[in-house]
Amino acid sequence: MPTVRLAAPNGAVICERCELALTTISKFRILRTRGDENGSGLLTKPATWAHTLFRKNAVDVVFLDRNLRVVKVTAHVAPWRIAACRQASAVVELPAGEAGRRGVRLGLRLVSNPNGPS
């Protein structure tokens, strides 16, 4: 699966290995095989919601607009829950606690590197 690296404009890394899911099928394939280690994540485009159905661990859900600007952060979404944001165009799922540790906040505009980790 393709990966991207998400960072803040100042270079602070938000997600080193963010797997890119462009379809529902690819999202389920990724969720079936990925771990929840720090530095990993899932970027789903287009998306206005995320679920933790069938997940074992909580996640932080970061909602992005079409310019990759953070419009909402929902921390510690427990298994078997749904989080949504109408203004979102994309969703980033990170291991629980990672959004706060990495300084993700409303209005932060992320930049992506399609080549993945360097």
pLDDT in tens, 49-66: 999 888 888 999 999 999
pLDDT tens string 32-50: 545 566 678 899 999 999 9
DSSP the chain: --EEEEE-TTS-EEEEEEEEE-SHHHHHHHHHH----TTEEEEESS-SEEE-TT-SS-EEEEEE-TTSBEEEEEEEE-TT-EEE-TT-SEEEEEETTHHHHTT--TTPBPEEETT---
Q: Per-domain residue ranges for the chain?
A: 3-113
More confident position, 37 or 113: 113
Report pTM.
0.88
What is the per-residue pLDDT for 117? 46
CATH number of 3-113: 2.60.120.1140
State the pLDDT confidence band at 2, using cuts at 50, 70 and 90. Answer: confident
